[in-house]
Structure 1
Amino acid sequence: MSRDTAAFAPDTTSHALSFTTSDPLTLGVELELQVVSRLDADLTRGATELLGLINRHPHPGDFKPEITESMIEVSTAQIHRRIDTLAAELLAVRKTLVEAADKLNLLICGGGAHPFQHWAERKIFDKPRFHQLGDMYGYLAKQFTVFGQHIHVGCPNGDEALYLLHALSRYLPHFIALSAASPYYQGVDTAFDSSRLNAISAFPLSGRAPMVKRWSEFIDYFEHMRGFGIVESMKDFYWDIRPKPEFGTVEIRICDTPLTVERAIALAAFAQTLCRYLLVERPFVIDDSLYAVYSVNRYQAARYGMEGCLVDPASRQRVALRDDLRITLQRLAPHAEELGTAHYLASLGAVCEEGNGAQWMRSAYQRHHSFGDLVWQQALQWRES
């Protein structure tokens, strides 16, 4: 699954917004990764060479450029019904990427932001869409050298996709806190577990989707926005969660790229299990109360990670995010058994005690007070199970 269509290019499928039917709960994953120099551990312009080397031979997954030359996007090429097959594909993708990087004397890192790179030094990838975005967004385009995980979950129709989009917003802080791995930005501890989200929030049409419950109503909303000349395709929406009608999925876009592929797999398992719980049990009513606390809960998770709090829109009570995650995992247990995701969810439960990627990065930095050493440790985290 990729995001390769040129922004604002004619797209009759997007204009029609025909929602492709997908098997419910099928999975796909995209990961944006850092391309790093072995010489100084800074980001480097290596994407073109990496892609050229990888694409010489058949390979698992999909490999694509991102907006700057210091990024590469990898994704699953297959549609997965079970998390174990998705895990096998992502592990094979990692092996392919790491082996290619080794041949080019490059490192590959996870994490939501490089700890000390300077955005002004980045080079826009030579592709019309990316140059168009650079012209449109100015310096924000280079500041967009941040790295996220996107999770696609299959939906049978647009109405179900919108239901999941809104219902998943209740659990947005969990995805943020579990994946957070960008505490440092341009050599400074930002005091955020996920500083990446601040870069995303600078863009228009970021944040939350509108409270639209029916696909026919969403088409009306889209055409209304298109009539203003604001959007031309779904790719122009940078929402935290958005429908992806051409894939027949709902796409969770809020996560930092984790430091390990195993954490990325576990987050996909969490998304699949959570969606099954929401579809089967329909645990709450979808209304505006979900979004009354959305921005505050999102901020708490980005700022404090597992130490944050959230306001439960149903009870209106303030609860520790860590405690709410534990309760959520307990509720998901029967669904995890059905899907075969229990092992992966248990690894996320351990984050409550062990800390997330941001906490690991701060601890690793404190050992030597060297950002270069931290990046090397991140590269080792990514390549080793």
Structure 2
Amino acid sequence: MTIDFAPNAHPTMGVEMELHLIDPTTGELASISNTVLEEMGRGHPGGEHPKAKHELFQSTVEVITGICDTPEQARDDLAATIAELRSALEPHNATIMSSATHPFARAVDQVVSPDPRYHQLIETMQWPARRLLICGMHVHVGVPDGQQAITVINELTRHLPLFLALSTSSPFFEGEDSGMASARSLVFESLPTAGLPPQIAEWSEFEQFMDTLIETGCIDSVREVWWDIRPHPGFGTVELRMCDAMPTLTETIAVAGLAQTLVAWCLDRIAAGDMPTPPTEWSVKQNRWLAARGGLDADLIVEHVGESRSTDDALGERAAEVGNRTVDRRPVRTLIAGLVELLRPTADRLGTNAQLDDVLAITRNGSGTERQRSVIAGGGTLSDVVHHLIEEFDTDQPITR
């Protein structure tokens, strides 16, 4: 099976945000997407808005950008559609909240969107699909070809836990504190084609894998593979899908800008022939769990290929030598600061330094998860958490308590 990959000469970007529709009085989810999207689609071809879409449940709407060159363009694109969505929601006494989970709503009470593919998903996947009352944020970055997409993905897995930690916003699920920084990531990975991508070295291996899944009837198309990072052949992109929906637009664009900058850095490394050795699959899997559990407070495994403890003064007491690699544990905030520093020259060229600064601001202000828990720690209720999230999205400001 040959899968054509639409080439992108430059690391263009696109962003997708999944948003909850909320009754501002009760804080409950509002299952009105059918009506709202029908109203927004009037005047557009086929009666469908090009940048506001259905999601699995009628209490959620996805807002997407077109192809953008810069994070600022993506921000303006999203902001324009969000403004349209707000206007359409106003007559229905509803508003918007951006968070990976609703603090107390239950999936069993939600109404499935009418698109037959959603009903087929639930019929096929059953309980794992029925509980997908979650929202994510996805970033597409253009790459030249499929082989480079695979090489970039292998390097991006090293940093996947940092993106997850930065975006964590789902401590509560169906009325309980999950104890996780990202309950969403654990809910979503229960689907058979979700979670970490397998380590694949060649585009031909990806084609063979997809051919096997399609020919055996496990999936109908490549788009049904929902890995945390995946190639999107039709768009010619690497798609980062590991992030929780983030509480503000500024934070969303910050992480999207980090993604664009990191992919551009990877492409530079491919061109120079000095791409780092990919991380081991076991360390990425463990780090994904650590980030989902602890968020920005996690300590992650770091691998140093060909190094010993004596050659790296920064290695901590928990360092150990495993084969030709030295491994130790380091704080997420330290790793994020190091990644931002590494990417500064690339950001100078792309013009994404403002987004990298905003990434560092997230490490200071705390993630969405930390800020939600601070509401409860201050004596608030889960309903107060909802109104906290509404205010953060309305003002585009993190609210610390």
Which residue is equivalent to 1:95?
83
Aligned residue for 1:369?
380
Contact 2:42-2:49 at 8 Å conserved across structures: no
DSSP 3-state at the match of 1:334: helix
Q: d(CA) in 1 for partners of 2:84 and 2:377?
A: 32
- The separation in 2 between residues aligned to 1:138 and 1:286, in whole angstroms, is 39
Q: SS of the residue aligned with 1:250?
A: strand
Displacement over 4 Å in runs of 4+: 57-61
Letter in 2 for 1:55: G
- CA positional deviation for 1:56: 2.2
1:210 Cα offset (Å): 2.2
| Total equivalences in the alignment | 369
- Measured after TM superposition, the shift of residue 125 of structure 1 is 0.8
**Separation (CA, whole Å) in 1 of partners of 2:212 and 2:126:** 26
Conservation of the 8 A alpha-carbon contact between 1:51 and 1:64: yes
Three-state SS of the structure 1 residue aligned to 2:370 is helix
- TM-superposed CA distance for 1:286, in Å, is 4.2
Give the Å deviation of 1:234. 1.3
Q: 2-side partners of 1:371 and 1:53: how far apart?
A: 31
What is the percentage of aligned positions where both structures have the same residue? 30
Structure 1 residue 171: Cα displacement:
0.3
Please list the CA deviations of residues 280-307 of structure 1 after superposition, one character each: whole Å capped at 9, or x if unmatched.
13564444x4312111100111110111
Q: Distance in 2 between matches of 1:327 and 1:48?
A: 45
| C-alpha separation in 1, matches of 2:22 and 2:234 | 33
Q: Does the C-alpha gap of structure 1 residues 133 and 154 become closer, same or farther in structure 2, counting only changes over 3 Å?
A: same
Do the aligned residues in 1 keep the contact of 2:106 with 2:133 (CA within 8 Å)? Answer: no
Matching residue's letter, 2:384: D
* Structure 1 unaligned regions, length at least 5: 1-14
In 2, Cα distance between equivalents of 1:130 and 1:33: 17
Query: RMSD value over aligned CA atoms?
Result: 1.7
Aligned 8 A contact 1:98 1:383 in 2: no
The residue matched to 1:243 in structure 2 has which SS? strand
| Range moving further from structure 2, 131-140 or 155-164 | 131-140
Q: Secondary structure at the match of 2:16?
A: strand
Corresponding position of 2:152? 164
- Deviation of the 1:173 alpha carbon: 1.0
Residue 368 of structure 1 and its aligned partner are, at CA, apart by 4.3
- Matching residue of 2:370: 359
Higher alpha-carbon Rg: 2
Q: Would you say 1:122 and 2:110 are equivalent positions?
A: yes
Matched residue, 1:309: 299
Contact 1:34 1:72 in 2 (8 A): yes
Counterpart check, 1:146 vs 2:157: no
Map residues 131-280 of structure 1 onto 2, 5 A cutoff. 131-280=119-268
Q: 2-side partners of 1:65 and 1:352: how far apart? A: 32
Q: TM-score, normalised by structure 2?
A: 0.88
Indicate if the aligned counterparts of 1:124 and 1:142 stay in contact, CA closer than 8 A. no
Rounded to whole Å, the distance in 2 between the matches of 1:244 and 1:252 is 10
Contact 1:181 1:357 in 2 (8 A): yes
> 2:31 maps to which residue?
45
Cα 1:247/1:322, change in 2 over 3 Å:
same
Instruction: Tell me the CA shift for residue 39 of structure 1.
Output: 3.5
Q: C-alpha offsets along residues 13-58 of structure 1, whole Å, 9 cap, x if unaligned?
A: xx64211112331000111111112331111211111101211256
